Amino acid sequence: MRRLVHDLLPPEVCSLLNPAAIYANNEISLRDVEVYGFDYDYTLAQYADALHPEIFSAARDILIEHYKYPEGIRKYDYDPSFAIRGLHYDIQKSLLMKIDAFHYVQLGTAYRGLQPVPDEEVIDLYGGTQHIPLYQMSGFYGKGPSIKQFMDIFSLPEMALLSCVVDHFLGHSLEFDQAHLYKDVTDAIRDVHVKGLMYQWIERDMEKYILRGDETFAVLSRLVAHGKQLFLITNSPFSFVDKGMRHMVGPDWRHLFDVVIVQADKPSFFTDRRKPFRKLDEKGSLHWDRITRLEKGKIYRQGNLYDFLRLTEWRGPRVLYFGDHLYSDLADLMLRHGWRTGAIIPELEREIRIINTEQYMHSLTWQQALTGLLERMQTYQDAESQQVLAAWMKERQELRCVTKALFNAQFGSIFRTFHNPTYFSRRLVRFSDLYMASLSCLLNYRVDFTFYPRRTPLQHEAPLWMDQLCTGCMKTPFLGDMAHIR
């Protein structure tokens, strides 16, 4: 047993993960990809976290000045360490929480306002269970009848503002309608985008807000040099995209792209056949002529994917499209049109660095703790051994809580709960062939590289894990010993 404990953690288990790597959910060969497509915000253009306090403050002021919310809300500032992407919000219960891939709330990660909700109350709110029924969960685009999932990076200031406003109302015993409050906050955040405030901030100081511009240029230039065709589909307006691309790539950036589509209105761009393409001139004015082909160097607005496919004939797995929003950018393309998809997850870099920092320490902790447990259990009878085991398992639970706080004190990792992948992880695996921290990760691979997903054993294929060894699984009779049961 002692030898087995040491064999469970061979030295290579502590090999560091690479934050600049690309991770595959599905096998894909870049040799077969002829056309590369891109979203703009948080895909071609990576933004600094300094943008989030600006969005929060502007939306907060809109609530006070235009929606007549209490002046006391102005005392709240943006807290970048409060929320993580992928959380769910129960509108009627004013509950922000993390849910796993099986629709269970991770206990200890439910907040009303800025205050944690006791586990017992969470279970009581959902009828004596942690499980949230499927009909209440988010639909295809992350919006359910009463629960919304926050999927894009722009939602971080939205979650923070929503929690602050609820905190103020509860702290001052003010009555409010949960649905009205949720809609007002959502509309205030939307106004920041619709009124162009965010665009103005970025345009005024691109050096401050836009990251990795030189790497974006290197990726696009490399693909074009290898004969790949490129296109851009974004919801952002042309003037904003043009200024950003000139900053990152240069004044001739449009020559790199075979098709450029702005204000596409995703995700309806992928499903609504009614909106036609319209051409824009250099000043952003709309043309009225009918679009019969999509020309290189020209700018197009709106349109729909069905006309796009008809005019370009870019179909199936020879197309690889990158975006940051799993629903608005990737879901339809993979499930309904057979394109290959790549998800840009900027949080991945930080999470991997935390994993690398803790991996070696945790492996030693497990090895030493399990060895000590076996030594103690040798001196006890079975009943006493179980008591020792229970105390040891409690220690492991406390260690898991510490690990959670390393990622985020309130909600932990964006990818995992204590035992299962998060709901965000489930959608990431479902809607993306590849995922990475930024487009620059492509520079680390040949343009004909083949990505293979890591073969993950099914539960009946996997060897025994430590918890199975410690809970008596080794005592399970073999099939021969069970013949009398049959």
Mean pLDDT across the stretch 198-210?
95
Answer whether 286's CB lies under 8 Å from 278's CB. Answer: yes
Instruction: Tally DSSP H helices, then E strands, for the chain.
Output: 15, 18
Tokens found for residue 336: 């309904």
- The DSSP 8-state label assigned to residue 145 in this structure reads S
Tokens found for residue 365: 């902790």
Higher pLDDT, residue 194 or 238: 238
pLDDT surpasses 50 at 1:
no
Instruction: Report all structural domains of the chain as residue ranges with CATH numbers, in order of start.
Output: 1-19+347-457 (no CATH), 29-48+208-344 (3.40.50.1000), 50-203 (no CATH)
Answer whether 432's CB lies under 8 Å from 326's CB. Answer: yes
pLDDT value of position 365: 54
Determine if residue 41 is labeled as part of a ligand binding site: yes
Answer whether 269's CB lies under 8 Å from 245's CB. Answer: no
Higher pLDDT, residue 142 or 154: 154
pLDDT value of position 168: 97
pLDDT value of position 43: 96
Q: Rounded to an integer, what distance in angstroms lies between the CA atom of residue 227 and that of residue 249?
A: 18
SS3 content of the chain, % helix, strand, coil (to 5): 45, 15, 40
For 31-40, 179-188, 264-273, which range has the lowest pLDDT when averaged over its residues?
264-273
Q: Kindly report the pTM of this predicted structure.
A: 0.85
Q: Rounded to an integer, what distance in angstroms lies between the CA atom of residue 481 and that of residue 484?
A: 7
pLDDT value of position 141: 54
Give buried/exposed letters for 50-80 (b at 16+ CB in 10 A, else e): ebbebbbbbbbebbeeeeebeeebeebebbe
In the chain, the amino acid numbered 40 is Y
Determine if residue 39 is labeled as part of a ligand binding site: yes
Q: Which of 7, 32, 39, 167 is catalytic?
A: 39
Percent of the chain exceeding pLDDT 90 equals 66
Q: Rounded to an integer, what distance in angstroms lies between the CA atom of residue 347 and that of residue 352?
A: 9
Q: State yes or no: is 41 an active-site residue.
A: yes
pLDDT value of position 6: 45
Q: Which of 41, 90, 242, 332 is catalytic?
A: 41
In the chain, the amino acid numbered 291 is I
Each residue's pLDDT tens digit, 366-416 = 555 555 555 555 555 555 556 656 665 666 666 667 778 889 999 999 999
Each residue's pLDDT tens digit, 158-193 = 999 999 999 999 999 999 999 999 999 999 999 998
